[in-house]
Amino acid sequence: MFRKRYLVVLALLVIFGPVVARQLFAPEPRQYSGVTLDQVGYTEVAFRNEAQNLDLAGMLFTPDGEGPFPVAVIIHGSGTSNRENRWYLTLTKHLQDNGVAVLLPDKRGSENSSGNWRMANFEDLATDTLAAIEFVRTQEITPVSGVGIVGMSQGGWIAPIVARDAENLGFVVSMVGSAVTPNEQLLYEEDHNIRQMGFLPGVSYLIALVSTQHIRHVRMPEIYDAVGDFDPIPLWGGMNIPALVILGRDDTNVPSAESAARLDALGNDSIQVIVYDGSGHAVQDPPGRGDRLIRSEALDAISDFILESTAGYLH
The answer to whether the Cα torsion of 19, 20, 23, 27 is positive or negative is negative
Taken as a whole, the chain contains a residue count of: 315
Asked whether residue 116 is assigned to any structural domain, the reply reads yes
Distance CA 312, CA 314 (A): 7
68 in a domain, yes or no?
yes
| 17 inside domain | no
Of 40, 46, 96, 45, nearest to 67 by C-alpha is 96
Looking at residue 136, its pLDDT comes to 96
Classify residue 126 by its DSSP letter: H
* Contact by Cβ (8 Å): 52, 125: no
Tell me whether residue 25 is in a domain: no
Number of domains, the chain: 1
279: Cβ contacts below 8 Å, ≥ 6 apart? 248, 249, 250, 251, 285, 286, 295, 298
DSSP letter (8 states) at residue 311: T
pLDDT value of residue 11:
47
Q: With respect to residue 200, please indicate whether it lies within any of the assigned structural domains.
A: no
Q: How many CB atoms within 10 Å of residue 267?
A: 8
- According to DSSP, residue 62 is labeled -
In-domain check, residue 142: yes
What is residue 32's predicted lDDT score, i.e. its pLDDT? Answer: 86
Q: 127 is in which domain, residue-wise?
A: 40-180+231-310
Q: In angstroms, rounded to a whole number, what is the distance separating the alpha carbons of residues 30 and 129?
A: 33
For each successive 10 residues of the chain (315 residues), what is the average pLDDT?
50 51 60 90 96 97 93 96 95 97 97 93 97 96 94 97 96 98 96 87 90 93 91 97 97 97 97 97 93 96 96 63
Query: Is 112 contained in some domain?
Result: yes
**CATH code where residue 94 lies:** 3.40.50.1820
Looking at residue 5, its pLDDT comes to 56
What's this model's pTM, rounded to 2 decimal places?
A: 0.90
